Amino acid sequence: MANSVVKRLANGVVAINNPRPGRARQLLSKYWLHYIFILPGIVLLFLFAYLPMAGLLIAFQNYKLRPGLSGFFTGKWVGLANFWFLQDKYFWITLVNTVQITVFRMLVTWPLPIIMALSLNEMRQLKLRRAIQTVTYLPHFISWVIAGYMVTQVLALDTGIVNMVFRSFGMEQVLFLGEPQYFRGIVILQSAWKGVGFGTIIYLAALSNVDVSLQEAAMIDGAGRFQRIWHIDLPYIRPTIVLLLILSMPGLMSAGYDQIFPLQNPSNMAVSDILDIYVVRLGFVQAQYSLSTAIGLFVSLINLGLVLGANKAAKMLGYEGLF
């Protein structure tokens, strides 16, 4: 009998390791419509996410732009010579400018959607709640170029609304975009104005899963509004908070070319010259394709480390993490 049990177990292992040859065909014939539905997404993902990764080889070449792909295949291999930028003082200046903007921006813009979502969730006037949601969500659809133009017009020296108010109160006018000390604050406020609405919707969707019976039981027990938020609402959305925080880690190395460039001028260049603009200037203005690719690869490796580190920290704290 023991031999028969062992034989059956062995047959089971063989069946698992060697699936039926027609299994894939059966799945394809059964779920062919599902595969057709996801096929465009797979193709786009391959074309725009995986295929361009072959261009990372340029970081290890002395690449010269030539017609077709001849420059890619005939470029001279130079090893790590393009990574000399790690000894470039100006690279570290742009890196520091980038990190300073992104860290302060995250400290301000990360908790704002959480606070607004919790506040709107407690609001009982539905019309007012919807109006606030609409007003705060609309800036998300405005491009950064238009948002930058709006900021420059509002903060203009002679015709800007802010300086007009200053003049009406007898105060001295301020050239906001011409003073480096104001630049980071302007970028942070602009990011909060444009992004808080979209983040609020995500957290409101997570708050919709809160069990109403828990809220009612807490109210019967005498729990106040802030106690219910702290002990019921926040634990429910905490996994969402952790997940979005992990996904936002790569943003620490990218201050955003499309946001910063419209606000940049020679007066604030000392604090506004960031990695994104530096890489674009090297690649498209100075035609140093290999050097700009090497910097992009270096930044991508740091982003990978940030995501992996944040995911590991989340798991150590008892959360599921991203993967």
Q: DSSP for 55-99, please give it.
A: GGGGGGEE----STTHHHHHPEE-TTGGGGGGG-HHHHHHHHHHH
How confident is the model over 144-177, as pLDDT tens digits? 999 999 999 999 988 889 999 999 998 889 999 9
What pLDDT, on a 0 to 100 scale, did the predictor assign at position 320? 83
Q: By three-state DSSP, how is residue 315 classified?
A: helix
Name the residue among 269, 304, 297, 270 with its Cα closest to residue 283. 297
User: What's the rounded Cα separation, in Å, for the pair 214 and 271?
Assistant: 49
Taken in order 316, 317, 320, 323, is the CA torsion positive or negative? negative
CA 148 and chain centroid, separation: 19
Q: Is residue 260 part of a domain?
A: yes
Q: By three-state DSSP, how is residue 251 classified?
A: helix
User: What's the rounded Cα separation, in Å, for the pair 22 and 15?
Assistant: 13
Indicate left, alpha or beta for 189 from its phi (over 0: left) and psi (-120 to 50: alpha): alpha
pLDDT lower than 50: segments of the chain: 1-18
Q: Is residue 56 part of a domain?
A: no
What pLDDT, on a 0 to 100 scale, did the predictor assign at position 28? 81
What pLDDT, on a 0 to 100 scale, did the predictor assign at position 210? 86
What pLDDT, on a 0 to 100 scale, did the predictor assign at position 309? 94
Distances in Å between the Cα of 266 and the Cα atoms of 150, 160, 245 are 19, 20, 34
Q: Around Cβ 204, how many Cβ atoms within 10 Å?
A: 18
What pLDDT, on a 0 to 100 scale, did the predictor assign at position 68? 58
Residue 312 token pair: 């590991």
Residue 249 token pair: 């880690």
Name the residue among 210, 155, 194 with its Cα closest to residue 177. 155
Amino acid symbol at 14: V
Q: Is residue 145 part of a domain?
A: yes
Q: Is residue 55 part of a domain?
A: no
Range of the domain at 165: 84-316
Q: Is residue 105 part of a domain?
A: yes
Q: Is residue 286 part of a domain?
A: yes
What pLDDT, on a 0 to 100 scale, did the predictor assign at position 152? 93
- Name beta bridge partners: 76: 62
What pLDDT, on a 0 to 100 scale, did the predictor assign at position 280? 92
Q: Is residue 143 part of a domain?
A: yes
Q: By three-state DSSP, how is residue 237 classified?
A: helix
Which contacts (CB < 8 Å, 24+ apart) does range 218-222 have? Answer: none
Taken in order 303, 76, 94, 154, is the CA torsion positive or negative? negative
What pLDDT, on a 0 to 100 scale, did the predictor assign at position 278? 94
Q: How many domains does the chain have?
A: 1
User: What's the rounded Cα separation, in Å, for the pair 276 and 102?
Assistant: 12
CATH number at 262 reads 1.10.3720.10
> 272 near 179, Cβ under 8 Å?
no
Q: Is residue 170 part of a domain?
A: yes
Cα-flanking dihedrals φ and ψ of residue 202, to 5°? Answer: -65, -45
